[in-house]
Each structure stands twice: as structure tokens, then as C-alpha cells.
Amino acid sequence: MNRAAFFDLDKTLIPGSSLFLLARGLYERDFLRARHIAKFAWTQFLFVALGRERMGEVDDIQEAAFGFVKGRHQDELRQLGREIAQERILPRVYEDIARVIEHHHKLGDETWLITAAPQELAEVIAEGLGMTGGLGTRSELDDSGIYTGRLAGELLHGPEKAKAVERLAADRSIDLRESHAYSDSINDMPLLESVGEPHAVNPDHELRRLARARGWPVHELRSRRRALLIGIPSTIAAAGLFSAGVAIGLWLNRRSSQRG
């Protein structure tokens, strides 16, 4: 049986919303109109103001995030997604988490990005981070590869993430009891509870409380990223990021040794 590590995207790998970063890039390329970017801005405001996604707004987020692709070709979005990921998303990945992904590779684990963002974007980001693959929300295509504006299945959010991971584990002979999952949100409890080694990364209040009660590792990266954004000297920032990455790596090594 194989082992794997599953990573949420927004506020786990990067600060804020990948969909908003995608929308900004598409707007600059005249792919989106102002009304679309306004919806994304409102979604981003909710992320910042509330500290986590609100399940009650999933339908609104879905409409804002995926309706704009109607009538466009998949190859066009995939290429634009690649450009925007390189420009706006990959540079924002927490260095600590990039080190954790690399550490899982060294342990022989598969690494998967699991996100509600579009499948095309998930694949590009996963590739950019050297991960095994990415799973995201799939949009419906007609026979010629044009988006219909509807989803092909459910939004990959909440319980749907856990279902997707269970299907992936069955297909790739992954032992979920020996696998890890990383997320910031209480909405990902089904995902975290589906593996033997859950991690709370930049957790919202509810997930932090629950993680502490259950003895799950809690990794806080936000203060270091805020420091970087306001211009902390690079040598100090690098030292803090390196020590946090090493701490997570040592924890993983101990767990691996205990099993060996």
C-alpha cells in the first residue's frame, strides 16, 4: 500500500483565495468583466473578514467562480491558468509548506492538492510544486471542449473532498490510515478525519480548538508571511521560515521512524 499527503490550497498553501488571484489575472487579460471581478472581491472579503469559508455561501461562490467560463475553450483557460499561477499564485506559496511537500517526497509519499478551485488550476499549481497531482472542481464541457457554464459533478468542497480522496485512494492503493492531510478550515473536517495523520495549518478558530482537543499538530504560518509582506529583513525571515519547516520535517521523521 502507498502513503500520501493531501493539501488544501487556500490559506493552507497560500494566504487568501486562489480563485480571486485567478480572477484578477483573467480580468487583466480581458477574460473577465468588472461584474465578475466584483463577485470575486466579495468572496475574498468573506475569506478575510470571517477567517474561513462559510458553507452558506457555497452556491454564490460556485456561481461567481465558474459561470464566467461559459462559451470558452478548455485549452484557453488551461493556458491562462498556467500563466497566472506562475505570476500570482506559486510565488505566494508558504515556504514552510513547500518544504513539507518536498519532505513527503523524500519519505516516498504521494502528494496531492485538493481544492474547490477549477481542476485546470489545481493541475497547474500541483505541477508547479512538483506534486503527484491535483484534484479540483470540474466544469462541464461539450463535445468540442467548450465550457457549458455548469459543473460536472459537485463543487469539491467539504465532504466532497473526502469522497474524492477516498476514490483516489482506492484507485492508487493508498492507505489512508498511514496518510496525512493539511487544511486550515473546519469545513475540511471530513478530509482530515479520513486520514490517520491530520494537520491543522493556519487553522480557523473552530479547527484550532478541535485540533488541540484531539492532539493534532497545529502549524501557524500566517504571522511569518505577514512579516515578509511588510518587508522584514530577508535574513531574519529566512531563519524563521527555515526553522518552522525543519520542525514540521522532524515531526514527520519521528512519526515515520516510529512506524518503521
> What average pLDDT does the segment 72-94 reach?
91
Which one of 10, 96, 109, 204 is the catalytic residue?
Answer: 10
Query: What's CA 113's distance to the chain center, in Å?
Result: 6
Q: How confident is the model at residue 13 (pLDDT cuts 50, 70, 90)?
A: very high
Q: Does residue 258 have a pLDDT over 90?
A: no
Q: How many CA atoms lie within 13 A of 248 on its CB side?
A: 28
Of 8, 96, 188, 204, the active-site residue reads: 8
Per-residue model confidence as pLDDT tens digits over 242-256: 334 444 444 455 555
Cβ atoms < 10 Å from Cβ of 126: 24
Asked if pLDDT for residue 241 goes beyond 50, the answer is no
Please tell me the predicted confidence (pLDDT) of residue 195.
98
Clarify whether 8 is annotated catalytic.
Answer: yes
**pLDDT tens for residues 211-238?**
999 999 999 987 654 433 322 232 223 3
Entry pTM: 0.78
Which has more pLDDT, 196 or 238?
A: 196
**Beta carbons within 8 Å of 80's beta carbon, 6+ residues apart:** 25, 26, 29, 31
Judge whether 184 counts as a catalytic residue: no
Please give the pLDDT value at position 182: 98
Mean confidence (pLDDT) of the chain: 80
**51 or 65: whose pLDDT is higher?**
65
What CA–CA distance (Å, rounded) separates 38 from 45? 10
- What structural domains does the chain harbor? 4-14+93-259 (3.40.50.1000)
pLDDT higher at 184 or 35: 184
